[in-house]
Amino acid sequence: MAKGTTYLHERIEFVDARTGVHLTQVTSFPTMSMALAYFGRNFTSDSRTFIFISQREARRDAPWDLFRVDVDGANLTQLTDSEDAGGFAVSPHDDCVYFHRQGALWKVDLNTFYEEEIIAVGDIRTMGVSALSSDGTAYFVQVVTSRGTTGILRLATDGSEASLLLEAKQGSLALHSASPGGAGLLMWQVREGKKTWLLLDFDGSEKGVYTSSYDFAHCTFLGSGDRVQGCALPPDRALVQMGPGEEQPTTIAQGVYFWHSASSLDGEWIVADTNWPDDGLQLVHVPTGRYRPLCYPRSSQGHPQWTHPHPQFSPDGRYVLFNSDRTGICQIYLAKVPDSLRERIIRGDLSVQERRVW
């Protein structure tokens, strides 16, 4: 198995037994496959293709490689054949995927599979969470420097610049994600002993403070602006939203324990997995706060990240991508969002089965 190889499709199509929603198990090779972070750029802009990582060898220490696949399961193609790569993000021009490896920024062409080192960075021990600007000109990555500090590094995707935007005591700040509409970077920093959520401009300057008195279980940007949505920490069971300077959030929906949530690009819909207990993936209408189950991933939802569904929308909002180890091995699934379900949620209609549960 090697980069540039296109494999036969692995798709298995079926219907969720409880909701009737059409599901596609996109990967089924008997090794681990996992979708990328639900707060990053993982689909092409036309919503036809997404990238993911997979172990293509059945051994414990098998390396993870990058793959692409169309939403119908076709064109499943290996993009890399290397170790220690991470921070993958699809270019907004849909021609390449950026990633970091061994202290440098790289890209791999989605069509020719050619890998190119863009810029190497000195004075860096490790690279971690990354984010790509909405115009694709800057790649941001959380780093640990040779001095043992934590920083946020900006790398120009044309190779012209590498700048350390912020630096602080190790563990006192963290990069989260970039707004898909260009509003800035979401991060947190410990200030006066408090975890403070911030919005940064792409040059590292502070655009606003969200809160220093509230924290999320998990969060992402709400739509393409500067608002953030997220899941409340236990014992609260709610989805909330807030903008810069609001300090305390506004409730979107409450009832089940929302765990990891992601927003559609227009900010009208949120999809969230649930836990304690697992109530399935919930499709939430932001203006009304109404929600209904989209499907039931049946993942084990343990400590490893690959046991978490981590749902995310395609750019056009027609599909929800998620992980599940329902077969005993983590695989990748797509749920097609029915227009009829959206309409029922907006109206507040319940099916007979939902009336029994609610």
Q: Is 180 left (phi over 0), alpha (psi -120 to 50) or beta?
A: alpha
Instruction: Based on DSSP, count helices (H) and strands (E) in the chain, helices before strands.
Output: 2, 30
Q: Which long-range contacts (CB under 8 A, 24 or more apart) does 190-198 make?
A: 197/228
Residue 81: CB atoms within 10 A of its CB come to 16
Q: Report the percent of the chain where pLDDT is more than 90.
A: 92
Interval 84-93 mean pLDDT: 94
CA-nearest of 104, 36, 92, 89 to 64 is: 36
135 φ, ψ (degrees, to nearest 5): -95, 0
Q: Which CATH superfamily is domain 84-213 in?
A: TolB, C-terminal domain (2.120.10.30)
Confidence of residue 131 (pLDDT cuts 50, 70, 90): very high
Phi first, then psi: give them for residue 293, nearest 5 degrees.
Answer: -70, 135
b/e burial code for range 121-142 (CB count within 10 A of at least 16 → b): beebeebebbbbbbebebbbbb
**Residues 62-66, mean pLDDT to the nearest whole number:** 89
For residue 107, the tally of other CB atoms under 10 A from its CB is 20
**Are 240 and 252 a contacting pair, CB within 8 Å?**
yes
Residue 14 parent element (H or E): strand 12-15
| Structural contact between residues 62 and 54, judged by C-beta atoms closer than 8 angstroms | no
pLDDT of 1 = 58
Overall average pLDDT of the 320-333 stretch: 97
How many angstroms separate the CA atoms of 210 and 93, rounded?
31
Spans of all domains in the chain: 1-41+217-346, 84-213
- Quick one: average pLDDT of 183-192? 97
Lowest mean pLDDT among 34-43, 49-58, 290-299, 331-340: 49-58
Are 334 and 24 within 8 A, CB to CB?
A: yes
CA distance 2 to 10: 17
pLDDT band at residue 82 under the 50/70/90 scheme: confident
Whether the per-residue pLDDT at 358 is higher than 60: the answer is no
Burial 151-168 (b: 16+ CB within 10 A, else e): bbbbbbbeeeebebbbee
For 134, the 3-state DSSP assignment is: coil
312 pLDDT higher than 80? yes
DSSP state for residue 51 in the 8-state scheme = E
**pLDDT over threshold 70, residue 232:** yes
> pLDDT tens for residues 249-267?
999 999 999 999 999 999 9
As a whole number of angstroms, the distance between CA 114 and CA 4 comes to 9
Query: Average of pLDDT values for 165-191?
Result: 96
Section 184-190 average pLDDT: 97
State the pTM of this model. Answer: 0.95
Q: Across residues 100-114, what is the average pLDDT?
A: 95
Q: What are phi and psi of 163, to 5 degrees?
A: -130, 135
φ, ψ at 170 (rounded to 5°): -55, 130
CA distance 258 to 163: 37
Q: What is the pLDDT of residues 92-105, one digit of tens each?
A: 999 999 999 999 99
Residue 93 DSSP class: T
* pLDDT averaged over every residue in the chain: 94
Q: What is the pLDDT of residue 299?
A: 97
Instruction: Please state, for a pLDDT cut of 70, what percent of the chain lies above it.
Output: 97
- Measured at the CA of 10, the angle between CA 26 and CA 274, to 5 degrees, comes to 25
What average pLDDT does range 237-259 have in this prediction? 97
pLDDT band at 352 (very low <50, low <70, confident <90, very high): very low
Calculate mean pLDDT across residues 208-213.
Answer: 97
